Amino acid sequence: MSRSGMLYIDRKSPIHKLDGSIKFLLMILWIGGVFLFNDFRIFLGFFLLGITLLKIGKIKWNEIKPLFFFILFFTLMNSFFLML
């Protein structure tokens, strides 16, 4: 995260060169895919794909660590309550 608190990290990568509307559409499809399926294997696939995209986007771990733990917490809570 930058000093100003924004989540955008400017890098020279294929992902950063995409148009904003394309990134928004892909984000909507990603969220729809996550909510559509209720299988851990699908979640694992999304996780591995996300890690791959982070590597392509040249995003460092320490830049997204707080956001990662926030998302992980709510993903685990969602999975737990879906099993009840």
Q: What is the pLDDT of residues 16-59, one digit of tens each?
A: 888 989 999 999 999 998 889 888 899 899 989 999 998 998 88
pLDDT at 69 over 70: yes
The predicted structure's pLDDT at residue 63: 84
The phi, psi pair for 15, rounded to 5°, reads -70, -40
Rounded Cα distance between 46 and 13, Å, is 20
Rounded Cα distance between 36 and 20, Å, is 24
Contact residues for 40 (Cβ-Cβ < 8 A; gap 6+): 79
DSSP state of 42: H
Contact residues for 57 (Cβ-Cβ < 8 A; gap 6+): 11, 13, 14, 15, 16
